[in-house]
Each structure stands twice: as structure tokens, then as C-alpha cells.
Chains A and B, each alone.
Chain A
Amino acid sequence: MDKITKFLERIGRGVGGVVGALFQAGRESIDQVITNVMPFMAFISMVIGIILATGIGDILANFMSPLASSLGGLIVMSILIGLPVLSPLLGPGAVIAQIIGTLLGVEIGRGNIPPQYALPALFAINPQVGCDFIPVGLALGEAEPETVEVGVPAVLFSRMVTGPLSVVLAYLASFGLYS
């Protein structure tokens, strides 16, 4: 009898643990969606709505579509965004990358940018990823102050090379995509 109750208790605990983990996972996702995802959707919708309704979109499209429809243009974009002076300013929350990405998406949807440029464009809008966050990121890794002092410029300089390089790699990897 004792064995049976022990066995039942173990099953009960195990199932309870799994169900608890699943429920917690659901709570985390809902929290994330409400606190991080939906506010950004509201913001993006407002920007895109105004851009589409006022016709600013057509002006932007005239400027951006040629830039985003050639390898050279995308490289230029990545070099500009990856400049060590600009990249920390453009980084926070990936807001700039998300807005440019959404605008490019609209133009791809309209047929102004060929879809095979989607892959290199994903890298061209993002050479600044995390450049605003280097000291904090290093502190999370328990880095010494001297490491931060060297690490911040090291990452920024490295991006000047790897930003455009990532666009070229993505371009090469996009052969056979949507064509």
C-alpha cells in the first residue's frame, strides 16, 4: 500500500511539474507579446499607415527602391549604417532596422524591389545590431572595465568590415531564391 501511494505521488509530482512548466511558458509568451510585440506593432502600423496614406511612401520608394534593388546599393546602405559614429545611434531597440525593413517589405510587396534581394537586404539593414548595447552586453558577461574600454571600439571597427561583407555573403547565398 505504501509503495502504491509513493508511486502515485511521484506521478502526481511529475505531471504537476510538466503542466506547471507549460503554463509558465504560456504566461511568458503572452507577457512578451503584450509588453514587447504589440506596442511595436502599434507603432509600426501608425508609421506605415501614415506613409501609405499620405503618399510619402512613393517618395521613399523612389529613393530606396533603386538602392535596395542592386548589390552595390545594399552595400552602400550597410556601409552607411555600419559607420562607427552612426551605428551606436541607430542601434537602440533595432527600431531603425525594423522601420527600414518594414518599408522595404512594402516595396517588395508592391513589386518595386525584386524578391531575391530580400536576403541581402536583411543583412544590409542590420550591420549596427547591438552596437548601442556593447558596454551592457559585456557587463552581462562580467567583463572588466578594461575589456569594455577595448571591446567597444573593437566591435565597432569590426562591423565596418563585416557589415558590407555580410551583405555580399547573403547576396551570394540568395542565388536560386525566388527566381
Chain B
Amino acid sequence: MQGIATAAEWFIGLFQQGGGVFMSLVTGIIPTLVVLMTAVNALIALIGPEKIDKLGEVAGRDGAAYYPLRYIVLPVLACFFLTNPMAYTMGRFLPEKFKPAFYDAAVSFVHPPLGLFPHINPGEIFVWAGIAAGIETLGLGLGDLAIRYLLVGLVVIFIRGILTEWITSVMWARKEAAA
């Protein structure tokens, strides 16, 4: 009898621990998240996300000068205003040869801003919040980490855009040579 009781306590203990984690997540993350997302969503609605369409048309031009526009400015604005997954629809303004690279850059930017702009991808917030929770447990501030995550993210999407564009062009040429 004693054994069964101990086993039952152990069993329920598994979920009590989980309940504690859930409680801390709900009270620690959701209140700020809801208010912040409301503010940003309202801002986006008032500005009008269709304003960035023009930029998409310019960003598709050839030439090195348009790289930062195509793989930094456009993905960042697309992610901010259209959020995941609608951000990738901005690719429709670009020529076919740039579309894979733009997708690569845009999809790589749905996590780095999560520390500051969780509205971009709230369903995947734990990519950021999981590690951030550990920093908070230590009593350290999150601002520095959030900013650095975003800035390194900018550099990474730029590199991804350029490299993927190059790989796409090489593979395209090979495919056409084979055909």
C-alpha cells in the first residue's frame, strides 16, 4: 500500500513540476507579450503594410548596390509588417533568380528580433525565450542579448542572401546546360 502511495505521489509530482513551469511562463511572458503585440499590430494597421510593396519592386534590380536593400531592408520590413509566414509573399516582386535567396534571408529573420518584437513570430517565441529564461534565472538583463541577437541576425541574413543567390545561379546554369 505504501509503495502504491509513493508511486502515485511521484507520478503526480512529474506534472506538478510542469505546472509550476507553466505558471511561470504564463505570468512571466504573456502579459507583456499581449500588450506589446497589441501596440505593434495597431501601429502596423495604422501605417498600412501595403506601403512596402514599392520597395519590393526596387529591390529586384541587378547590381551590387541593391544587395543590402534586397537581403537586409526588404526582409526586415517584410518580417516586421507582414510577420511569419506572410513575409515571404514579398518575394513576388523579385525576379525568379532572387526568390530562393530572398526566402532564405526572410525566413532567417523570423527569430532574431523576438527579444524586441515578438509579434513577428509569437508561435515560435521559445527559440528566443528558452535561452533567455536561463539568463533571467541568473538575474542578468536581457536587453543586451536581445539587441546583439538582432544585429548578428542582420549580418547573417545578408550573408545568407548573397550566398544563396550565388548557389542558385550556379545550379540554374548547370541545370540549363544539362537540359
B-binding residues in A (CB < 8 A): 18, 21-22, 24-26, 28-30, 32-33, 36-38, 40-42, 44-50, 52-54, 93-94, 97-111, 113, 115, 118-119, 121-123, 125-126, 129-130, 133-134, 136-138, 140-144, 146-147, 149-155, 157-159, 161-162, 165-166, 169-170, 173-174, 177-178
Docked CA distance A121–B39 (Å): 30
Q: Are A150 and B100 in contact (CB under 8 A)?
A: yes
In the complex where A50-B18, A119-B148 touch, is A108 in contact with B137 (Cβ < 8 A)?
Answer: yes
- Which residue of chain A is the closest to B142 with respect to CB atoms? A118
**25 pairs, CB–CB < 8 Å, chain A vs chain B:** A25-B40, A25-B45, A33-B34, A33-B122, A44-B126, A47-B18, A49-B22, A54-B14, A93-B123, A101-B126, A104-B130, A109-B133, A109-B134, A115-B135, A118-B132, A122-B149, A141-B91, A142-B92, A143-B100, A147-B99, A150-B168, A151-B100, A152-B100, A159-B160, A178-B145
What 14 additional pairs, Cβ within 8 angstroms, besides A49-B14, A118-B134, A178-B140?
A: A45-B25, A93-B123, A94-B111, A102-B133, A113-B134, A115-B135, A115-B138, A129-B107, A137-B88, A137-B107, A141-B88, A141-B89, A165-B156, A177-B148
In the complex where A40-B126, A104-B131, A119-B148 touch, is A154 in contact with B14 (Cβ < 8 A)?
Answer: no
* B52 at the binding interface (Cβ < 8 Å): no
Q: How many residues of B contact A (CB 8 A)?
A: 82
* B151 at the binding interface (Cβ < 8 Å): yes
